[in-house]
Amino acid sequence: MKALEIKNLHKSFGKFEALKGIDIEIEKGKCLGLLGTNGAGKSTTIKIITGQLSATSGEVRVFNLSPSTHLKEIHRMIGLVPEGQPLYDDITVKENLDVFRRVYSLPQEKTLEIADELELSQKLNSKIKDLSKGLRQRVLIAKAIIHSPTFLLLDEPTSGLDPSSSENIYKRLEILKEKGTTILLTTHLMNDVERLCDDIVFINKGKIVAKGTPSQIKSDYKENQIIIEARHLTTNNLIQRTFSTQDDYLSEIYKLKEQYEILSIKTHEPKLEEIFISLTETSNEKDHD
Ligand SMILES: Nc1ncnc2c1ncn2[C@@H]1O[C@H](COP(=O)(O)OP(=O)(O)OP(=O)(O)O)[C@@H](O)[C@H]1O
Ligand SMILES: [Mg+2]
């Protein structure tokens, strides 16, 4: 069963085309990372899935339902952590959570239960404006999952958080995933995506530039680098040379051997971050051609 199916999705704001034909699928229970630089179209995609924006053309199905005809049903099944931490600043954590509890007609205990789950019990009477960014993000997650959604969408959930707050959020997402929640998260930060996401979609300027599992993307992109460490036979100077597998690196090694002792030959698997930067640059260059 598919939690999400997006086909040939286009979105224009006036003459500006923010999404230029996007296809995304998520199987129930899986986690997909939607990666892209600023302005790539990540939030626009999420807003179309959640019905905050309507598509210009293309098909969107959430558990086989269309947001244009079945938004109420979809809202019962999904939870959203939007970007920018929109919370009511002058009221307490408890009051914030109560607002959303009431939206779903849930009993009072649910507020305490969800606060406990997100380790916010000690903060229930604190005003949102007095909380750290990391705690605010936990309130947003509590709010988003108060009705136990089967599909959680998070728009840049760790943006602006310090490493320990990010870790805390990712641990919680891992627990939700273990319980079977489908997750779609957007980010421009590659760290942790690999550990949580089964699939990754890279978008740039409204177009998909790569998709697949993290290891598929890496192996598709295995323009691996060969790193050679060597020591000069007379001076003992240590050097490191980097070649691409596409270079004629074997003859380079033979040349080196005349003056150097080869200490090690290693391959370098590109990190997702490097692939992301490179794909974004290539796609930007193509646009300029
Ligand atoms: N309501 C709008 N009116 C006009 N243009 C918009 C609107 N919303 C988004 N855009 C434009 O569409 C493009 C995609 O925006 P979007 O917010 O989806 O990007 P994003 O990938 O979420 O970026 P960020 O990482 O900055 O959050 C951007 O160029 C943005 O300026
Ligand atoms: Mg955004």
Q: Which ligand sits nearest to residue 35's alpha carbon?
A: 1
For the chain, helix (H) and strand (E) counts, in that order, are 10, 12
Asked if residue 268 has pLDDT above 90, the reply is no
Q: Which residues contact 114 (CB under 8 A, 6 or more apart)?
A: 97, 142, 145, 146
Tens of pLDDT, residue by residue over 41-72, are: 999 999 999 999 999 999 999 999 999 999 99
| Amino acid 128: pLDDT | 93
Domains of the chain in start order, with CATH, are 2-219 (3.40.50.300), 223-288 (no CATH)
How remote is the CA of residue 186 from the centroid of ligand 2, in Å?
A: 8
**Pocket lining: 235 vs ligand 1, CB cutoff 6 Å:** no
Give residue 252 CA to ligand 2 midpoint distance, Å.
46
Q: What's the mean pLDDT when you consider all of the chain?
A: 89
Distance (angstroms) between ligand 2 centre and the Cα of 45 equals 9
| Three-class secondary structure assignment of 270-285 | CCHHHHHHHHHHHHHH
Whose atoms come closest to the Cα of 14: which ligand? 1
Nearest to 26 by CA among 46, 11, 54: 46
Whole-number pLDDT of residue 44: 97
Q: What is the mean pLDDT of residues 63-88?
A: 91
Residues 6+ apart with CB under 8 A from 53: 11, 44, 47
Ligand 1 touching residue 46 (CB < 6 A): no
**Residue of 15, 19, 43, 52 best suited for mutating to test ligand 1, as the one with most atoms within 8 Å of CB:** 43
Other beta carbons within 10 Å of 130: 12
39 lines ligand 1 (CB under 6 A): yes
Question: Is the CB of 38 inside a 6 Å radius of any atom of ligand 1?
Answer: yes
Tell me which residue has its CA closest to atom 18 in ligand 1: 41
- Provide the 10 A C-beta neighbour count for residue 265: 14
**DSSP β-bridge partners for residue 6:** 24, 60
Q: What is the structure's pLDDT at 274?
A: 78
Q: Is the CB of 123 under 6 A from ligand 1?
A: no
Structural element, H or E, at residue 43: helix 42-49
**Tell me: the pLDDT tens digits for 193-214?**
888 999 999 999 999 998 999 8
Ligand 1 and 160: CB distance under 6 A: no
Q: What CA–CA distance (Å, rounded) separates 179 from 172?
A: 11
Distance 249 CA to ligand 1 centre (A): 44
Cα of 41 vs centre of ligand 2, distance in Å, is 7
CA angle 238, 240, 243 (to 5 degrees): 155
- Is 43 touching ligand 1 by the criterion CB < 6 Å? yes
User: Is it the case that residue 108 has pLDDT exceeding 70?
Assistant: yes
- Report the C-alpha gap between 144 and 79 in whole angstroms: 5
In this structure, which residues have their CB less than 5 angstroms from ion ligand 2?
A: 42-43, 83
Burial class (CB in 10 A: 0-12, 13-18, 19+), 44: buried
Tens of pLDDT, residue by residue over 156-200, are 988 888 888 888 888 889 999 999 999 999 987 776 688 899 999
Residue of higher predicted confidence among 283 and 276: 276
> How far is ligand 1, taken at its centre, from the CA of residue 188, in Å?
14
- Buried/exposed code over 182-204 (b: 16+ C-beta within 10 A; e: otherwise): bbbbbbeebebbbebbebbbbbb
* Ligand 1 proximity of 10 Cβ (cutoff 6 Å): no
Could you tell me where the DSSP H helices lie in 163-261?
A: 163-178, 193-196, 214-220, 249-257
Per-residue CA distances from 234 to 38, 231, 237, 238, 252 (Å): 52, 9, 8, 11, 19
Residue 284 has pLDDT above 80, yes or no: no
Is 222 a residue whose pLDDT tops 70? no
pLDDT score recorded for residue 189: 74
